[in-house]
Structure 1
């Protein structure tokens, strides 16, 4: 995994451009895809980092399962409660909702401290060992809290060889949290897209990750859409939120997604988990059940989502379906699930 990353920038740029010319995928996406895979490979290869991590979210759907044809640029990682000194039963079996929320708040605070004081220094050592010392600053990584979720974030501004795109920043964002019941998981190999162009150049590239399985992510996405359906109209749509609708539509058409739809037991687990740890007065997780699940956005959100979806166009690796088609797919999925 070391040799390609250490090629001169001009030589790496040739690979990005050749792949871009062959596929039509912008070269800055090809470059960032490589560094996402490279970083994941190093995280899960390091015993002090990967042993207590679960890779999840949209990037896992793209890189692990090939279920979405969208470039998902961020890395979503869950740290096990045990790695932070907690037992899952401390949270799941809390005597009241208020106690559960209090304990969960402390767990997330502990997660932020661990990411900043333990995970990031260890990963900095790993990155510096692979790439050498940063030429302009004394470190490769920086810590932050996400402006919306307030989750701990590590930023990795990778060594660029081509000009960045306007919509896609030239850094890898790793966002962390700690949750109970992050199962089922599996071990999977991931590879950068550019490896298709010249497999021999990536002979030593090995990136094996522990990922949340697709059937769990299927229902995580479904309940996101269900909650969003009930969001009060005076609350604005979150930026880049249309991706969840596009992702679920792709999942619904994917064979693994169709199989996941039969796992209503997982829907029940996700529904209960979210009602406990992401309680909201308006999310209506109690109705996230076959017969009353909502996947299609309300009419009042359609125009907003259409604009958000149009802004996402640079993220797609091939011509995306139009938003009307996505809505039709969601409507079919909603009808099918609610008929079970």
Structure 2
């Protein structure tokens, strides 16, 4: 039963305002948080999505593990290659040439995009419409596009809101679902996510909770670490909008108890490095040095000023006063030293 999603918009807004009054979190965030959780519920109870997708990335750190204290608004999903007609063992074959692996990866990326557009979008559109009804003007709830940076297939869920999209708004009124198909998306676990508004009336709204399959946090720890390592070696310095969050997220993970388990697992680190070396190869990322003794977590000095500006722009996303960026750099400095001892 979807008791909250089908309330009149004006009544939903009262709950969002009440939560803002008690917790000091902007209604824009409280509203979008509900629709993120609601959509995750749809995704992970709808076949074949529920059996073939893994929830990962920053939003999993926030909603599943409560490891970061900022609002993360996108849903990052990994689709099982087997669902797309490609056996994982073929892609992971160590004897496969780079040319052959690149060809297979490109075919897999296209198969993922085709599946999202032709199968998953219509399926989700039907599930959403069955609950929320039709959009006024017969527009779809979901729109499809390819991400300009990653070329990954994306669905945008334009959730029902009285708020209109504003040019340049940091928190747009849609939820972005980004799909990719990657091998070795393990370990995973079955976890619960809960919308903020559930705190106002615990258990009252059946659709404020969702069960998901998520990438385990220690894997994400090393995924984030290798993102920073590769970024340190990027040869052409350029402004990276919304990238400072990766530094903030890793600093939060370093201060989280997960650190103790993650840094003891060289096997997991090696798997992440091997995976990225095979499927995200570049001439500059230096994944072969993402290991004890040569890890790089700190940004280049010349990148820091732009990262500070980017971090400042995302202030409204934090649930508490964010640490100064200098403190994040101090944490990264400590982490880099520890990993390289």
Q: TM-score range by the shorter chain?
A: over 0.9
Structure 2 CA distance for partners of 1:302 and 1:163, relative to 1, 3 Å: same
Superimposed CA distance per residue, residues 247-306 of structure 1 (whole angstroms, 9 cap, x where no aligned partner): 000011111233222212111000011011000100000000011111111111111111
Within 5 A, what are the aligned runs for 1:88-103?
Answer: 88-93=88-93, 95-103=96-104
| Corresponding residue number in structure 2 for 1:265 | 267
| Corresponding residue number in structure 2 for 1:5 | 5
Hey, which bits of structure 1, 4+ residues long, moved more than 3 A? 161-165, 203-206
Superimposed CA distance per residue, residues 169-194 of structure 1 (whole angstroms, 9 cap, x where no aligned partner): 00000000000000000000111011
| Corresponding residue number in structure 1 for 2:70 | 70
| Corresponding residue number in structure 1 for 2:127 | 126
Within 5 A, what are the aligned runs for 1:110-259?
Answer: 110-162=111-163, 166-203=169-206, 205-232=208-235, 234-259=236-261
Distance 1:48 1:269 in 2: 27
Mark the runs of 5 or more structure 2 residues left unpaired by the alignment: none
Deviates more, 1:28-37 or 1:123-132: 123-132
Distance 1:218 1:104 in 2: 24
Distance 1:131 1:213 in 2: 32
Structure 1 residue 138: Cα displacement: 3.8
Structure 1 residue 204: Cα displacement: 5.3
1:29 aligns with 2:24: no
Structure 1 residue 161: Cα displacement: 4.0
Structure 1 residue 163: Cα displacement: 6.3
Distance 1:321 1:137 in 2: 45
Within 5 A, what are the aligned runs for 1:246-325?
Answer: 246-325=248-327
Deviates more, 1:44-53 or 1:192-201: 192-201
Superimposed CA distance per residue, residues 209-248 of structure 1 (whole angstroms, 9 cap, x where no aligned partner): 000000000000000000000001x341321100000000
SS at match of 2:48: helix
Superimposed CA distance per residue, residues 102-122 of structure 1 (whole angstroms, 9 cap, x where no aligned partner): 110110010000000001111
SS at match of 1:201: coil
Relative to the length of structure 2, the TM-score reads 0.96
Would the aligned equivalents of 1:2 and 1:130 in 2 still touch at CA under 8 Å? yes
Distance 2:133 2:271 in 1: 45
Distance 1:174 1:203 in 2: 23
Would the aligned equivalents of 2:224 and 2:250 in 1 still touch at CA under 8 Å? yes
Structure 1 residue 200: Cα displacement: 4.4
Would the aligned equivalents of 2:54 and 2:213 in 1 still touch at CA under 8 Å? yes
Deviates more, 1:92-101 or 1:67-76: 92-101
Superimposed CA distance per residue, residues 114-165 of structure 1 (whole angstroms, 9 cap, x where no aligned partner): 0000011111111011111112234211100011111000010100145668
Relative to the length of structure 1, the TM-score reads 0.97
Distance 2:32 2:165 in 1: 9
Structure 1 residue 92: Cα displacement: 1.2
SS at match of 2:182: coil
Distance 2:244 2:260 in 1: 21
Would the aligned equivalents of 1:55 and 1:77 in 2 still touch at CA under 8 Å? yes
| Corresponding residue number in structure 1 for 2:84 | 84
Mark the runs of 5 or more structure 1 residues left unpaired by the alignment: none
Structure 2 CA distance for partners of 1:164 and 1:145, relative to 1, 3 Å: closer
Structure 2 CA distance for partners of 1:204 and 1:193, relative to 1, 3 Å: closer
Distance 1:162 1:134 in 2: 15
Structure 1 residue 42: Cα displacement: 0.7
Distance 1:329 1:137 in 2: 50
Two-structure CA RMSD over aligned residues (Å):
1.3
